[in-house]
């Protein structure tokens, strides 16, 4: 079956989908994005993703391309046309097309909107959660505004490649004081010896992950204590459990940080339990 992409108002064959060479997303990374999971044909936590998209657009002073409702329709239609039951839908909004010049273009330039969707085999993600993943640590070298979900992801790309080169699945950025900020495409968590969840506060310096926020709610519901504070790499290496969260990885246990095995080297019970309960807390919409 051929894949379909949404590009600026039209559904086109994925293989022929194109954006203009002077799209500011292409030339300046001047754009934002969202990745929303599709689970059993439902969008997962759509309102939270839409709210974060609006915030990212607002922080960069990019006009909303259309209402959240209309965007929701495009997401669903793209999912439907690609027959995705389990997978993800990707949405990107750039400041639009204009002659290459650093300041914002003058006049009313239309933001450019691209949406794609693809299937992911749930068995594959389940397998990685069953085995747990390894992470490496890399120095934090990103700009301060990583709270904005911008498409400017070069440090993340390099960090993730470093992880691949080391045979690991994710890289955790570590700030100048030795504290873990977040992963290249995930939020980072540990479980201390008393069974408390520790994760960095999401004010600044990390992306306020939607999955993270659902886990915060789920933990509160289940009576699992959460402490929102930064943790060091050394603490992570001695933690009872560690895990990462994102729309595509949900809750994925971490069993190794650099050369240190976490706990007994198997996914911990708290992480696995949070993963198992995730959809009972997430908001599914069709």
Give me the residues that bind ligand PDD (CB under 6 A), please: 35, 156, 182, 185-187, 207, 209-212, 245-248
Q: Which residue has the tokens 């997978």?
A: 87
Write phi, then psi, for 125 (nearest 5 degrees). -70, -35
Long-range contacts, 58-61 (Cβ 8 Å, 24+): 59/145, 59/147, 59/148, 60/30, 60/32, 60/95, 60/148, 60/150, 61/104
Which CB sits closer to ligand PDD, 266 or 281? 281
Distant-in-sequence, close-in-space partners of 169: CB < 8 Å, separation ≥ 6:
128, 133, 134, 135, 163
User: Cβ 144 to ligand PDD, closest distance in Å?
Assistant: 14
Distance of CA 197 to the CA centre of its chain: 20
Which CB sits closer to ligand PDD, 98 or 174? 174
Distance of CA 235 to the CA centre of its chain: 24
User: Cβ 216 to ligand PDD, closest distance in Å?
Assistant: 11
**Residue 256 appears among annotated catalytic residues:** no
Which CB sits closer to ligand PDD, 98 or 245? 245
The full length of the chain comes to 286
User: Cβ 182 to ligand PDD, closest distance in Å?
Assistant: 5
CA distances 266 to 74, 105, 216, Å, are: 41, 52, 23
Which CB sits closer to ligand PDD, 28 or 33? 33
Identify the active-site residue in 69, 99, 149, 256: 149
User: Cβ 138 to ligand PDD, closest distance in Å?
Assistant: 13
Active site residues: 149
């Amino acid at each position: 079956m051929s894949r379909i992409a949404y590009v600026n108002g039209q559904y086109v064959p994925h293989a022929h989908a194109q954006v203009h060479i002077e799209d500011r997303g292409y030339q300046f990374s001047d754009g934002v994005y969202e990745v929303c999971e599709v689970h059993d044909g439902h969008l997962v936590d759509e309102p939270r993703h839409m709210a974060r998209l609006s915030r990212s657009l607002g922080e960069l002073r990019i006009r909303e391309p259309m209402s959240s409702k209309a965007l929701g329709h495009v997401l669903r239609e793209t999912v439907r046309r690609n027959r995705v039951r389990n997978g993800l839908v990707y949405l990107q909004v750039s400041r639009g097309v204009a002659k290459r010049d650093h300041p914002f273009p003058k006049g009313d330039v239309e933001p450019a909107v691209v949406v794609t969707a693809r299937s992911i085999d749930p068995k594959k993600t389940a397998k990685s959660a069953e085995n747990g993943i390894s992470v490496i640590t890399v120095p934090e070298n990103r700009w301060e505004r990583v709270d904005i979900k911008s498409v400017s992801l070069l440090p993340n790309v390099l960090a993730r490649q470093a992880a691949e080169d080391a045979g690991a699945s994710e890289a955790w950025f570590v700030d100048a004081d030795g504290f873990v900020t977040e992963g290249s495409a995930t939020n980072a968590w540990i479980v201390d010896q008393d069974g408390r969840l520790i994760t960095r506060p999401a004010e600044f310096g990390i992306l306020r992950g939607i999955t993270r926020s659902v886990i915060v709610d789920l933990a509160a519901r289940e009576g699992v204590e959460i402490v929102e504070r930064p943790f060091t790499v050394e603490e992570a290496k001695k933690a009872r459990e560690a895990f990462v969260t994102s729309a595509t990885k949900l809750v994925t246990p971490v069993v190794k940080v650099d050369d240190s095995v976490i706990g007994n080297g198997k996914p911990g019970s708290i992480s696995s339990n949070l993963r198992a309960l995730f959809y009972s807390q997430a908001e599914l919409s069709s």
